[in-house]
Amino acid sequence: MERIEIKCPAKVNLSLDVVGKRNDGYHLLRMINQSVSLYDYLTIEKIKSGIIITSDKNDIPLDESNTCYRAADLIFKKFGIDYGVKIHLKKNIPHGAGLGGGSSDAAGVIKALNELYDLKMSKEQMMEIGLKVGADVPFCIVNRTSLVEGIGEIISPIEKIENLHIVIAKPNINISTKEVYSKLRLDEVNKRPNIDKMVEYIRNKNYKMMASNMVNVLETVTLNEYPILLEIKNIMMEFEAEGSIMTGSGSAVIGIFEDEEKVKVCYNRLRDYIKDVFLVKTVNEGV
Residues flagged as binding site for ATP: 94-104
Q: How many residues does the chain have?
A: 287
Q: CA 14, CA 244: separation in Å to the nearest integer? A: 9
Is 57 annotated as catalytic? no
Nearest-angstrom CA–CA distance, 158 and 202: 8
What is the C-alpha separation between 78 and 70, in angstroms, rounded?
Answer: 12
Exactly one of 17, 40, 105, 136 is catalytic; name it. 136
**Cβ neighbours of residue 95 under 8 Å, at least 6 residues apart?**
59, 60, 101, 102, 174
Question: How far is it, in rounded angstroms, from Cα 54 to Cα 74?
Answer: 19
Active site residue 11: yes
Strands 84-90 and 51-55: parallel
Calpha distance 235→264 (Å, rounded): 13
CB 187 within 8 A of CB 57: no
CA dihedral 287, 151, 182, 20 (to 10 degrees): 140
Helix/strand/coil percent split, the chain, to 5:
35, 30, 35
Residues with catalytic function: 11, 136
